[in-house]
Amino acid sequence: MNIQSNFSLQKLNSFGFLSHAEYFVSVENEHDLLNAIEFANQKKMPWQVLGSGSNVVLQDFLPGLTIHMAIFGKKLVSESATHFYIDCGAGENWHEFVKWTIEEGYPGLENLALIPGTTGAAPIQNIGAYGAEAASMIDSVEVLDTKLVLETQANTEVDLNIQQNWQVIPKEECAFAYRDSIFKRDLQAYVVTQVRFAIPKKWQANLSYAELANYFLDNKSPSAQDIFDAVVMIRSKKLPDPALLGNAGSFFHNPIVDLATYTQLKEKFTGLVSYPAPDLLGEKQFKLAAGWLIDQCGLKGYRVGDCGVYEKQALVLVNHGTAKGSEMLALANHIKQTVLEKFGVTLSQEPNNLP
């Protein structure tokens, strides 16, 4: 295990913030990961996990140990009459994994093409796009349970028995919801090391997202590869490439409101962009387009120093050069306040703040 100090994270976060980890280690297997957590616990220092940094706002300095997830490997492990079961290491690049599943004949994840990041981070916020969510094809998530590490450390001197610290959490216990899961609610509780996918053998095109349906108006039976290609093409046009303009994709969730709030807003703002959301306890709910709310506040293209609202999509905040995490959070607060004053709607942030 190679623990480095004062390690630059600038290339490990899609905003490109200048940030340094006090200590940094890249873990390539379960053993390294357990050692890393035990090292941090013994030194009584905080720790955090970093995948490819495409959904984080990093501060200038991350105290303690930053653990970079680099556990690789992907394979078909079994199949039933109805499903393919595929294991993928947490460090694998998500887009490459999606591409591989299609090439190998296990289509189903194509709507989620080109989402940056690692496969281990996919269950954290239940990544979703173009009418699909990762949770729909996740069977279970293998994690290091950090409570168990503390217990085994207290009970034995140095216990490197991997088995007793690991858990496989079935999908039903992951509390997957819109950009949410048990993992997202407590980032210190589990470290995801592998995800098992259950991909239905009976493939069906998912064209529930209007933009995708429009794209295939002239092609009534697109293949998974066609959908993959279309998603890649559409996404590339809409979102800035982090390699050219630092960003973390959508910076805010689309807020979900009840029927009464929706009706009031719709009366006052006739152009309100919204979609029906799943009912909550039998009550109707609506998802509002956060980008539209921000745009209506005149903030599209708004800029403070090197922090800005992307000129083509107000939901995306961008780093024009040498912005810092703290400055981006100040801009985000200004946006939240402005939207609250105009619409009475509270926006919540999607990327996680580290530390």
Contact status: 325 vs ligand FAD (CB under 6 A): no
Length of the chain: 355
Contact status: 165 vs ligand FAD (CB under 6 A): no
The distance of closest approach from Cβ of residue 191 to ligand FAD in the complex, given in angstroms and rounded to an integer, is: 4
CA distances to 31, 71, 85, 305 from 74, in Å: 18, 10, 11, 43
Q: Which stretch binds ligand FAD (CB under 6 A): 51-59, 72-80, 81-89, 212-220?
A: 51-59
- Specify the amino acid at residue 118: T
Contact status: 56 vs ligand FAD (CB under 6 A): yes
The distance of closest approach from Cβ of residue 243 to ligand FAD in the complex, given in angstroms and rounded to an integer, is: 10
Q: In the numeric block, which tokens belong to residue 173?
A: 């216990």
Q: Answer yes or no: 181 catalytic.
A: no
Please state, in angstroms and rounded to a whole number, the distance separating the CA atoms of residues 171 and 60.
Answer: 36
CB-wise, 189 or 304, nearer to ligand FAD?
189
The distance of closest approach from Cβ of residue 248 to ligand FAD in the complex, given in angstroms and rounded to an integer, is: 5
Among 69, 212, 290, 339, binds ligand FAD (CB under 6 A): 69
Residue 308 burial (CB < 10 Å; 0-12/13-18/19+)? buried
The distance of closest approach from Cβ of residue 351 to ligand FAD in the complex, given in angstroms and rounded to an integer, is: 7
Which entry of 250, 283, 311, 326 is annotated as an active-site residue?
250
- Specify the amino acid at residue 280: L
Among 187, 210, 213, 233, binds ligand FAD (CB under 6 A): 187
CB-wise, 129 or 212, nearer to ligand FAD?
129
Q: Answer yes or no: 350 catalytic.
A: yes
Q: How many CB atoms lie within 10 A of CB 353?
A: 13
Q: In the numeric block, which tokens belong to residue 98?
A: 């999606």
User: Using an 8 Å Cβ cutoff, are 193 and 34 in contact?
Assistant: no
Count the residues of the shown chain that bind ligand FAD, applying the rule CB under 6 A.
Answer: 33
Number of Cα atoms under 13 Å in the Cβ half of residue 115:
26
Among 14, 136, 194, 319, binds ligand FAD (CB under 6 A): 14
Place of tokens 């990961």: 33
Q: Answer yes or no: 274 catalytic.
A: no
Among 230, 239, 265, 290, binds ligand FAD (CB under 6 A): 239
Among 132, 149, 231, 248, binds ligand FAD (CB under 6 A): 248
**Angle at the Cα of 337 (from 279 to 268), degrees rounded to 5?**
55
Span 103-122, contacts to ligand FAD by CB under 6 A: 115-118, 120-122
CA distances to 22, 67, 139, 145, 349 from 60, in Å: 11, 17, 37, 28, 19
Among 191, 309, 314, 339, binds ligand FAD (CB under 6 A): 191
| Residues with catalytic roles | 179, 250, 350
